[in-house]
Structure 1
Amino acid sequence: MLSIIQAAGWPIWPIIFASIVAVAIIGERLWNLRSSKVCPRDLLPKVLHEHRRGGISADMMSRLQEHSPLGRILVAGLRNIDSSREIMKESIEEAGREVAHGLDRYLTTLGTIASLSPLMGLFGTLVGMIEIFGSNSPTGNNPAQLAHGISIALYNAAFGILVAIPSMIFYRHFRAKVDALVLEMELQALKLVEVVHGERKI
């Protein structure tokens, strides 16, 4: 591997750095965008059960706030449980926007890496082409310099694409995952509002 990096020349280092950042973001998002962590399905039934038993205590609201993103949205509604349906919904929507922004964390960076990696590979290819042309001289070609220029051009192009493809795949996957989680949390919060205001039983 070290010999490949040496053959690819200095333009490979930005691509390697981008690949490390991409892997870190992918791992972090895979862990933190789990449905069980963001929007646990058993949370709303527990909250409604406590509400029917005699109300939500301040201690439970505090634990709910720290429990999950869905918990933070539900707390925003529960704090306005004595207000009108519209006020309760507005507070939930405000908390939902904040939570949705948090779920998008690092995705812009991952999308940027997916877009820029082929360009960094192209830049390395151009550096390699310059090296190739530099191998020509009036006295003839320098075979070592010519081979080095070719390796720079090919390795950088390949590595740029190699980093871009999984980055783009995971970027699109996480975008779809966030949209699905936000929709699920909206439905759960709407159910809370309707149950609290007596518009549905569960």
Structure 2
Amino acid sequence: MINLRHSQQDFSTPDAKVQSPSRRLLSLTMTLLFASLLILQPASAQERLPKVVEERGDGQLVEAADPNGPLPKSVAAVNKRRSIPSTPEDIIEEMGYFLLPFVIASIISMWFIIERLVILRSGRVIPRHFVSRFLKLLRDGKLNARSALKLCEENPSPIASVFAHGVRKWGKPSVEVEQAIIDGGERQLSQLRKHLRVINGVATVAPLMGLLGTVIGMILAFNDIANSSAMGKAEELAGGIALALLTTAFGLGIAIPSLIMYMYLAGKVDGLVMEMDQNAQDLVHLISAEGLAASAASRKSASSAPVTKTKAKPDKTASKS
């Protein structure tokens, strides 16, 4: 029995010695694997596991992402969209369909401002050469009613149209001539002030559109706060505030130049009307019954004055001789 046990121990001992290195290698491999998992796990958990606990508005504690850790791509894209846009592409993307009414309003304002600047040129409304020549011919008595009307029709302009209304009352009392000129002047005044109301309308409506965009932007901002779990965060307001500020800026940017140009054009019309009225008064004094009588009397006295002087000269020489 002793020998048998001894023999069994002799046969088992070499096997145990042979298997021990493989077991050690296996245990070492498993140890390294677990160690690597333990080392890599915090780095991956930093991206997907929350590290910060925040309190919600209802008093519950929720886990939030680590503010110092890396952000997922979706969260980075959301934060990028919530920033205030500064480039034209970002502004167009942020405003969306709100940009369309502002573009239409700016086009309308620019179109009619340029059109009125061309129409209200002083040389077109009151041609200086025509007015001076026409009044000079009337003072010299070289025009009658027919030739004066023909001259007005050959020189189309607002002041010529006003003169034509007065010439049609040639030889009438000054009250009738003046009333005819007033009627013609009112028609020309309506033509001069045409489309100014459109410019004033754009200057009035553009800030209201900006105010509407401001209100809608604030509604969107507070709606984002109501639907989010981060109460009191300023970045939650950024998207709506960006829309509100952009629409207000666009509205004021269109309204201010439109209002300035409306005031300038309205003042230009008033100046042209005053100058036309002065020229019309000169016309009344020349073609009314009173004016024609006064001019005829002045011509008669002017023609008789040289005859008296020629008769007086021979008498003086005769007396001296």
| 2:246 aligned with 1:159 | no
Q: Percent identity at matched positions?
A: 32
How far did residue 150 of structure 1 move?
2.3
Question: What TM-score do you get using the length of structure 1 for normalisation?
Answer: 0.88
Matches within 5 A, 1:160-179: 160-179=251-270
Map of 1:26 onto structure 2:
113
Q: CA RMSD in A?
A: 2.4
How far did residue 145 of structure 1 move?
7.6
Map of 1:139 onto structure 2:
229
CA distance in 2 between partners of 1:125 and 1:39 (Å): 46
Does the 8 A contact of 1:25 with 1:110 survive in 2?
A: yes
Matches within 5 A, 1:1-202: 1-51=88-138, 52-55=141-144, 56-57=146-147, 59-64=150-155, 67-136=156-225, 137-140=227-230, 146-196=237-287, 197-198=291-292
Question: What TM-score do you get using the length of structure 2 for normalisation?
Answer: 0.57
Q: Deviations over 1:116-158 (max 9, x none)?
A: 2111101111111111112122534799985432221111000
How far did residue 113 of structure 1 move?
1.2
- Name the stretch that deviates more: 1-10 or 183-192: 1-10
Are residues 7 and 143 of structure 1, via their aligned partners in 2, closer, same or farther at CA, if it must alter by over 3 Å? farther
Structure showing greater Rg: 2
Does the 8 A contact of 2:153 with 2:160 survive in 1?
A: no
Does the 8 A contact of 2:221 with 2:240 survive in 1?
A: yes
Does the 8 A contact of 1:88 with 1:193 survive in 2?
A: yes
The DSSP-based 3-state class of the residue aligned with 1:9 is helix
> Number of residue pairs matched?
199
Structure 1, unaligned runs of 5 or more: none
Asked which structure has the greater RCO (Cα within 8 Å, sep 6+), the reply is 1
The DSSP-based 3-state class of the residue aligned with 1:75 is helix
CA distance in 1 between partners of 2:203 and 2:228 (Å): 42
Q: Deviations over 1:15-74 (max 9, x none)?
A: 22111111111101111111111112222222234443243535433223xx21111001
Does the 8 A contact of 1:11 with 1:123 survive in 2?
A: no
Structure 2, unaligned runs of 5 or more: 1-87, 299-321
- Name the stretch that deviates more: 39-48 or 161-170: 39-48
CA distance in 2 between partners of 1:172 and 1:98 (Å): 21
